[in-house]
Amino acid sequence: MSLSYQILGGPGTDNALFVTLDTGHSQVRLLFDCGQGCLDSLRFGDILDIDYVFFSHLHMDHVSGFDSFFRVNADRTQKPNVIFGPPRTSEILHHRFQGYLWNLVEGAPAQWWVCDVEPHEMQKTRFDLGDAFATKHPEPPQKTDGIVLQEKQFTIKACTRDHHAPCLAYIVRETPTANVSTEQLQSLGLRPGPWLQRVKSPSDEGGMIDIDGRTLEISKLRELLLVEQPGQSIAYLTDFLLDDDAMNELEQELQGVDTIICESQYHPDDHELATRHFHMTSVQAATLAQRVDPQEFILFHLSHRYTPAIWKEMLTRAQDVYPRAKYPDHWWDELNV
Among candidates 64, 55, 111, which has minimal Cα distance to 87?
Answer: 55
Pairing of strands 166-174, 154-162: antiparallel
Yes or no: say if 259 and 17 are a contact pair by the CB < 8 Å rule: no
Residue 7 CB burial class (10 angstroms; 0-12, 13-18, ≥19) = buried
The catalytically annotated residue of 61, 116, 128, 270 is 61
Residue 217: half-sphere exposure toward Cβ, Cα within 13 Å? 4
Yes or no: say if 173 and 158 are a contact pair by the CB < 8 Å rule: no
| CA geometry: angle 251, 253, 258, nearest 5 deg | 85
Is 61 an active-site residue?
yes
Quote the radius of gyration of the chain (alpha carbons, Å): 23
Among candidates 87, 256, 285, which has minimal Cα distance to 171?
Answer: 256
| Chain centroid offset of residue 329 CA | 20
Yes or no: say if 48 and 72 are a contact pair by the CB < 8 Å rule: yes
Among candidates 230, 295, 288, 316, which has minimal Cα distance to 5?
Answer: 295
Among candidates 253, 256, 250, which has minimal Cα distance to 176?
Answer: 256
Compute how many other C-beta atoms are within 10 angstroms of the C-beta atom of residue 90.
22
Which residues are designated catalytic?
61
